[in-house]
Amino acid sequence: MSDGSIPGINPGPSADSAGNTQDIEVMTFHGDQYMIPALHVFGKCHLISEFEKISFIGEGSFGAVYKAKEKQTSKIVALKKLKFQKEESIPRSFPREANILQTLKHDNVIKFLGVAVGRSFDRNHRQAFLVVIYEIFVTYIILEFCPYELSKVTDDELARIEINHAHIKCIMYQLFYGLKYLHENFILHRDLNVNNILFTENGILRIAGFGNCRPTSKDDLTPNPVSRGYSAPELLFGATKYSTAIDIWSAGCIFAELLLKRPLFKSDSDNNMISKLVDLLGSPNETRWPGFSHLPLTEKYELRAQPYNRLTFKFNNQPPTCIALLHKIFLYDPNRRITAGKCLVNSYFIDRPTACTPESLVALLKKPDEI
């Protein structure tokens, strides 16, 4: 037998030597037999050959995502691929992501359906371009398929014109509702952005992209795991102890992007990103942000003196309750930043116009040729 294990599968004795196989399935991978519990730790473990690839959806931070059909049931799913070579260990994020996803049960969180293993969908394509060919083993996380992405709304010119506060309230309320659930269950998402916000065919928002997620901890965490334009200031200044407040900041950046119809912060370097923060919110200091001077990267950047908070000016065409909520989100001090639960009862979501129904979002989310 090969000494490289298949993720989620423990090599076991051959079928001939197995004792009671009532709850055991024997699967063969590359000539090796594996004893698989029928009820796998991540749910029933599937062979990738059980699925038919329909299309390539996109490339995320942790692997490619495909739209696929389960051959037996014709159910449409999303397959998130984690690629590794035979001699490589499985990415550490995989068991954490799968373990966390299988415990999360909420309308606004992507639904985890299981794990599939086998050869890559695009094995032949890759072999045509590789000089040295390695045996390609692949693990896939099986997720529900969501046909719409928030990034398509922010990228589409017609959708940007049509989006209004009723739409934005529906989107942001669902996002904060999902975040409230995650945070109450001690989960940090750590990579919220418009690419990781999906919608079902009925307009129900699903938080996705859990490759960077992890439980909250008092121990040191990875500094700055979030996409730069959605990264909270404590991460930019090198904090390794941080809280759910980083997700609130990222959600605020999504909120602002919907209001402005363009990203709030767009930068190609941390230095430039911090400069834009200072332009908008003023210079961070111990008064605005107790403990700021003790952050690891405080002395790395030369911060110009800028005493003014310009949020109100930036969003001067928005309703007062909207601007007030933005001020509660975009605070340097993470301990003072509003929580997801308090966002849900904020006046912005009570004032007219009220949020539209999720079903009403669908026309906005669809491409023109789909309507």
Per the CB < 8 A criterion, the answer to whether 241 and 247 are in contact is no
Task: List, in sequence order, every residue forming a beta bridge with 199; answer none if it has no partner.
Answer: 148, 205
- H-helix or E-strand spanning residue 54: strand 51-60
> Quick check: is 279 catalytic?
no
Q: Which residues contact 283 (CB under 8 A, 6 or more apart)?
A: 303, 304, 305, 306, 307
Choice among 122, 191, 247, 279 that is catalytic: 191
Could you give the C-alpha distances from 316 to 161, 173, 207, 224, 354, in angstroms and in order? 18, 22, 29, 31, 20
- Composition of the chain by helix, strand, coil, percent to 5: 35, 20, 45
Q: Is 3 left (phi over 0), alpha (psi -120 to 50) or beta?
A: alpha
Residue type, 27: M
Half-sphere exposure at residue 136, Cβ-oriented, CA atoms within 13 angstroms: 18
Task: Measure CA 349 to chain center.
Answer: 24
Is 80 assigned to a binding site? yes
CA gap 124, 163 in Å, rounded = 43
Say whether 138 sits in a helix, a strand or coil: strand
User: DSSP assignment of 273-292, as one string?
Assistant: HHHHHHHHH----TTTSTTG
Would you state the structure tokens that stand for residue 318, as one six-digit string? 């928005």
Residues placed in the known binding site for ATP? 80
Active site amino acids: 191
Residues placed in the known binding site? 80
